[in-house]
Amino acid sequence: MSTTPPSTLPELPGGLFNAPPDSVLVEDADEEIMELYMNLEATTGRADSGGLGYLDATAAELELSFELAPPAVQADTVKQARGKRAKPAKAITVDLTVVQDPSALRARVGDTGSVLWRSSLYLARHLLTQHHFPPASPLLDATRLASARVLELGAGTGVLAALMAPLCGDYVATDRAENLRLVQRNVSANAPKAGSSSSSSSKAATVAPLDWAEVAAEAGRKAKSGARYVPPESDTDLVIAVDCIYNESLVAPLVDTLAALCARGALAWVVVELRSSDVHPAGFTVVRLGESAMGAWEGERGRWVGWVGWCPPVDERE
């Protein structure tokens, strides 16, 4: 996979991200996607991901446990609480009880957020590990993150929000209204367990409804008059979307929502499991973060990809 020399990478605004050295400036979206899929096929022998990235799509409740430890001794897998191995020295154990709604997965067409996706869990583990055992160049600057306002799209079960909120200045987990009860339940249950014995561990995410279709529609109306839509939720520093889309019809509303939410200068951080080539970061400057930004994902390579993007902020005086 190609890389961009660090000296030619654009500076990521805000100082929140430290792009790994194998990060790439995305200059052509079509070429970017073609390269990613060619790499996926070369490393896995197939051009698709082999299925959805659920951890377990059948259980009504998951009891999970994973360890945070220096990389040399970090456990490679997320384990069911029963039968877990002894902790490595100095490791921090995070235990989670995750309520799911498998019936909604079957009953609501296009709804994949009612069960836990591996991407949210593994990414949270990676970021928490870097928080407690900081490397020389962590992906996220801990000092800036501690005062950052973060908004998550498609929060699903709310696990990422529960684990990450204690590290952020403010964290808002959003989803469609019909899924918010599940998000709130898991945020409330797991926020006090979010990986630290410090006082910040009691800081919980807030939960709010946000419908991409409604945001996209309003942005379209504004665009007809030559303006950009600046929703109230855009008063944020970082917008996160982690494996929150499977239905291709929602790609365009997601992109429009990201553009609206980044209108005041926020960064967009999108993490996806490669499934469809219908991804287009129109209007954004985009950097694909290097593979080291993704942490350990059960030994998988070339399956998940993370982009950080931003667009020129609006001049609200106009």
- Split into its structural domains, the chain has a count of 1
Q: Which helix (H) or strand (E) holds 287?
A: strand 285-288
Give first-to-last CA distance, the chain, whole Å: 42
Q: Average model confidence (pLDDT) for the chain?
A: 82
Reading the block at residue 314, the tokens are 């609006």
Residues 158 and 302: their CA atoms lie apart, in Å, by 26
For residue 224, give its domain range. 12-52+141-310
Instruction: Compute the average pLDDT of residues 15-30.
Output: 89
Residue 92 lies in a domain: no
Residue 133 lies in a domain: no
Residues 245 and 180: their CA atoms lie apart, in Å, by 17
Query: DSSP letter string over 94-121?
Result: EEEEEE--HHHHHHSTT--TTS-BHHHH
Residue 74 lies in a domain: no
33: domain CATH number is 3.40.50.150
> Which range, 95-99, 200-204, 275-279, 292-296, has the best average confidence (pLDDT)?
95-99
Residue 160 lies in a domain: yes
What is the per-residue pLDDT for 310?
94
Strand order in the sheet with 149-153: 24-26, 285-288, 304-310, 267-273, 238-242, 149-153, 170-175, 206-209
Residue 261 lies in a domain: yes
pLDDT surpassing 70 at residue 313: yes
Which has more pLDDT, 284 or 3? 284
Which has more pLDDT, 81 or 269? 269
Residue 131 lies in a domain: no
Residue 145 lies in a domain: yes
Residue 127 lies in a domain: no
Residue position matching structure tokens 């007809």: 224
Instruction: Compute the average pLDDT of residues 259-277.
Output: 85
Instruction: Compute the average pLDDT of residues 110-128.
Output: 84
Instruction: Compute the average pLDDT of residues 160-170.
Output: 95
What is the per-residue pLDDT for 35?
76
Q: What is the pLDDT of residues 194-206, one digit of tens each?
A: 444 444 456 889 9
Q: What is the pLDDT of residues 288-306, one digit of tens each?
A: 898 888 776 666 655 678 8
Query: DSSP letter string over 152-181?
Result: EES-TTSHHHHHHGGGSSEEEEEE-GGGHH
